[in-house]
Each structure stands twice: as structure tokens, then as C-alpha cells.
A and B are shown apart, each in its own frame.
Chain A
Amino acid sequence: MSPRPGVTSGLNNQRSNVNRLSAENVTLAYDQRVIAEQLSVEIPDNSFTVIVGPNACGKSTLLRALSRMLKPSAGRVLLDGQVIQSMPAKQVARTLGLLPQSSIAPDGITVGDLVGRGRYPHQGLLRQWSAEDERVVQESMAQTGVAELADRYVDELSGGQRQRVWIAMALAQQTPLLLLDEPTTYLDIQHQIDVLDLCADLHEEQGRTLVAVLHDLNHAARYATHLIALRDGRVIAEGAPKDIVTAELVERVFGMRCQVIDDPETGTPLVVPAARRARDRVGAATEAS
């Protein structure tokens, strides 16, 4: 089961031994539609990495590849030095958790039962529900603030509560790495911040490595410790938000003029889009050229 150093050589291989999760020169495609080519990404251990970029830049696709939902048509995704597709499904599921964009709650399932399903990779035919499972489920529900909802049906909950329940399920999986695909979509602002605060807690207090795709650049800049900016399937910049978020970068990635100021609350970069007139002038200029 150990990675085999020496079988493949070169710089890439050495790099991948540094961090637990990485993508090496992957080509990502749905059928014939190529989303990204020769894309390489490292997820720094113990980071809260956020992937940002305009619609259809391939950020969710990259997350799907990192979580082995999508098999790269070339290149490879490495988890702990092994090609992720070659690893046993349950072993991956004990290391890396994923909260997809859309999840279906089965009819008539209670919160406690749904969170309990996160224990699947730790269970077997003859080890269906250990005392440890029970403890972890209680803990996960307490952390996400849904313990009081344990006996309620998931269909009855509000959007914000439901998202917390799904996060609790992913937590019950007890993975050191947790991937979240747009965890704040469809939530109002207060619940968005709630969920992001929860993510920050998981990262800071429990030392989990988090990777999230976020739409809101300001949320990303405020919460991420490591930012990856994508455009057209390529990494435009990566690093700490403070180091890389500039007006120039935002224009290159999103094609939008803006000012970047200090967030008065946290001191992180805050992107303020330029007023419409200023943007119109840019638009007219680029179209003319």
C-alpha cells in the first residue's frame, strides 16, 4: 500500500510528496468538452483553500477531480502519494470528504439518521453501529448546531439548517481533508457567514484541511488562507489572499474593473467593483480593440 518512490521520477513526484492532495497535469473533460488541460494544483496541508473564478472556469470541475468524482482523461490526482482512482473506495472516504453542490435527502429521513450515514466508510456488514459511531455523530451535530434537530425530518428544515445537517454528515465522516462545492449557494447572507464561520472553526480548531469553491470573491478573500484563482481552466494566481488579490488580478480573472481596499473588519482585501460608468468605458474599449 505504500507509495512507490523511484517508479516515477522528476520534479512533479517530489512536489506531490509534500502535500497530501494534489493534481498533476490533469486534463479534465466531460465527454468531448475539455474544461482544463495540463492543470496542476497543490492543496497545502492544513490550509483553508478556496478556489475562485468566473462561471464555467472549471472550478467545480477541478473540485470534482480532486474528490475523484471525475476521472482525469490525462494526468493524475494524488492523495497521500497514491493515484486516487487506484485506492480502495472506503479508504479514500476515510481520508477525504466531499460536500457536493446538490444532495438529495431520502424521503422521511431524520437529521440524526442522515448525519449517521456519514459513518458509512467506518462501518461494515458486522460492524454497523459502534459506540464510537454514536459519539462522533453526536459530536458532529453539536459542532454544527443541529443536535437539537436530531429527531426532526430533514424535509421540514430551512435551507440554512439543511446545509448545516449536510456539513454535519460530512464531519461525521471524520476526514482530515474536506472538500466543499459552493457550500453557501442558495443561502441568505446571514447563513452564508454562519457556514463560513463554521468552516473557519473546522480549519482553525480541528486542523482539518478545507478546500471550497466559492462564488463570492470577498468571502473567499476573508476566509481563505490559500486562494486559487482560475480562468478558462488555468491557474492565474495562487497564494495568500493578501499577497495576490489586486485590482489587476481581478480584472484578469473576472474581466471586471474594481478597487481593492482593506476590509475594515479583518484587514483582508476587499473588492469593490467599479461604478457602472467606469466599467462601460472599459467594455467599449475592449470591444473596439
Chain B
Amino acid sequence: MKNPAAKTPARTGRVLRTPGGLSVRVDGRTVTVVVLLLVAALAASVVLIGTGDFPIPAGDVLRTLFGAGEPGQEFIVRELRLPRVLVGLLVGASLGLGGALFQAISRNPLGSPDVLGLGQGATAGALIMIVLFSGSAAQVTFGALVGGLVTGFGIYVLAWKRGVHGYRLVLVGIGVSAIVTAVNGYLMTRADIVDASRAVVWMTGSLDGRDWDQVWPLLVLCVLLVPLCLANARGLRMTEMGDDVSYALGVRVERVRMLLLVAAVLLVAAATAAAGPVGFVALTAPQLARRLTRAPGPNLLPSLCMGAALLVTADWLSQRVFGAGRLPVGVVTGVLGGLYLLWLLVTERKAGRI
């Protein structure tokens, strides 16, 4: 062990260098995980497009997607099922990335948007639109977006004390979550039966009936925010070592954290607005990704891919087992995520961290 250790490079992974002095670090295992997760997410998407009352074989799905399918299948694939699957991929990716950001900022695996009450905040916004204004689908989406952003801002203001600190953020988030849940309960009591059933379906988190109107805003947001988050990942990685060390190393800790927190709130609020509060994806995706890559750091890209793969797979599972349109995807992710949360609590407790 002694001799080779002194000679091997100090870091795991490879470095790509160009003659111009540019260098990029690549961790082999992380790249493999990202590629495999992407493949899994896309494969699940193709299968999901083929699933439904009118099943289409995977080969035909691919042919249709590339513009060589039958006209009859073309309509089903392109207009009905593709947007739904794209919403699923984007929502999963946003939740995975948003969750990874929240957990890295709060330095706590429990510091996910589900626990912090962002989902509940978006729900409150949607409920206000449904119950008080009997709003249209677009108005409900808008309400959810505003609800999520207001809640995120509220948590930030309440948790801010010369900077945002991990435990403070989690504890304040849990408090806010409880308050907003109570407000949601009150709104439900005010609802008539039609609005109430509509609200309940929304609150479970579902991809049913999602079309291109939900795809575009989410896609634009992801195209803007994902590169921004990835570019700041190096600074975020440093904050794992505590504020003092990272600040001493030249990271503008508060700026990085603020920027990424805003990005995370936007991602999660937009995802929730598009599909409802799909539970536990933001909590589980980063942890699962981390266990696969075995790399320290926030693992942003693997978490994003894991979120997308998880959500599409869960949607396929719910359709496959219970039939199309019967069971919202949020129920499946809720059950799986709940089990995972229990396991996480037990192992964290054994490790003496909570």
C-alpha cells in the first residue's frame, strides 16, 4: 500500500488537458452512472409511450419518434403520449436537481423540498386557485408556481441569520411546512365536492393529461437553470467543508448559496406547478445517485438523471400495474419514497447522525 500510494495521482478519476492550459476533471464512475441513468430514463420513456389502452411496440415508438411511423400511431405518440413523458422527464430532472441542491445547501439528507414545505406551499397556491376562484388549468399552474416561490422566499427570510445555515433551514422549513399544511386543510373544508375532488387529484401529483403547454415553460427553465447550477457546482462542493474553510479558499459562500437556493426553488416550484407535488423524488434521487457514484460532493448531474429515470419508471409502474389513468404517479413515488425515508432514518440513527 505504501509505495504505490505515493506515486498514484492524488485524485481518483481522469483529467483531460488541452495544450492551451485548459483542464477538466472527469470521474470515470460518475460518467458511467450518468450515462447508464440517461439510457435507463430514455428506455423507460420509450416503453412508457408504448403503454396504454392502445399498446405500441417499442420499435414502432422509435420509428414514429424519428418521423417514419404510421399516421394513426403518429397522433397518439406525438400529441398524446410524448408530451406527457417529456413532462415526466423534466419534472423528474428538476426535482432531482432541486433536491440535490437543497440537500447540499442544508448539508442534511433530510433537507429536501418535500420536508421543507415547498410542495405544500405550491399546493396552497393551487388550492387557492381551485377552491376560491375555480380557476382554469393554467391559473392553477400559475397559482402553484407563485405558492412555491412565496414559500421558498418565506423560508429563506425566516432562516436567514447572518447567512443561511443547515439545521436552521431544515427546522424553519419543517415549521413552515406544518403551517402551510394547516392552511391547505382549511382550504379543503371550504371547497365544494367538485373542486375538492379536483384538488385531491392535483395534490397527489399526476402526469395525466399533460400536453405541450406544460412542456415548454419547464423546458425553457431547465435550459436556463441547469447550466447555471452545474457551473456553480464546484463552489457548492467546497461549502461541504464548512463556511470558514470554503470562504478561506475563496468561495463567495453566501452568493453561491443564495444563487443556487433561488435556482432550486424555481426548479421545484415549476416542477410542482406542472405535475403537482410528486412526493419524495427530490428526497430520494440525490441519495440514490450518491450511493451509485460513491463520490463526495453534491452529485448534481447524477441526481438530475436519477430523478428523471425514477419519475418515468414510477409512472410506467403505476400504469402497468393499475391501468392507465387509474393511479397518479405521486402515489407510487410516495410509497417508494416513504419506504426509503424510513430506511434512511434508521441508518442515519445507527450512524449517530440524528
Contacts and interface: CB of A to CB of B under 8 A. Distances in A.
Contacts of A89: 247, 250-252
Interface stretch (B21-29, B148-156, B193-201): B21-29
A117 B249 contact: yes
A150 B8 contact: yes
Nearest to B295: A108
Contacts of B1: 148, 151
Contacts of A252: none
Interface string B204-245: 000000000000000000000000000100100110111011
B339 interface: no
Contacts, number: 111
Nearest to A105: B241
A113 B10 contact: yes
A105 B238 CA distance: 10
Given A93-B248, A127-B22, A116 B10 contact: yes
B242 to A, nearest CB: 5
Interface string A70-110: 00000000000000000001111110011010111111111
B190 interface: no
A112 B249 CA distance: 17
Contacts of A123: 234
Given A103-B244, A125-B234, A148-B2, A118 B10 contact: no
Contacts of A98: 244-245, 248
Contacts of A125: 231, 234
B72 interface: no
A115 B10 contact: yes
B71 interface: no
Which among B12, B231, B244 has the highest number of chain A CB atoms within 10 Å? B244
A69 interface: yes
A16 interface: no
A69 B163 CA distance: 13
23 contacts: A67-B248, A69-B247, A89-B250, A90-B250, A91-B250, A93-B250, A100-B244, A105-B241, A108-B295, A109-B296, A112-B11, A117-B238, A117-B249, A120-B251, A121-B250, A123-B234, A127-B21, A128-B23, A129-B23, A129-B25, A134-B10, A148-B5, A151-B8
Given A100-B242, A104-B240, A149-B5, 5 more contacts: A106-B297, A125-B234, A129-B11, A141-B10, A147-B5
Interface of B: 1-2, 5-6, 8-12, 15, 17, 21-25, 231, 234, 237-238, 240-242, 244-245, 247-252, 294-297
Interface of A: 67-69, 89-94, 97-98, 100, 102-110, 112-113, 115-118, 120-121, 123, 125-131, 134, 137-138, 141, 147-151, 173
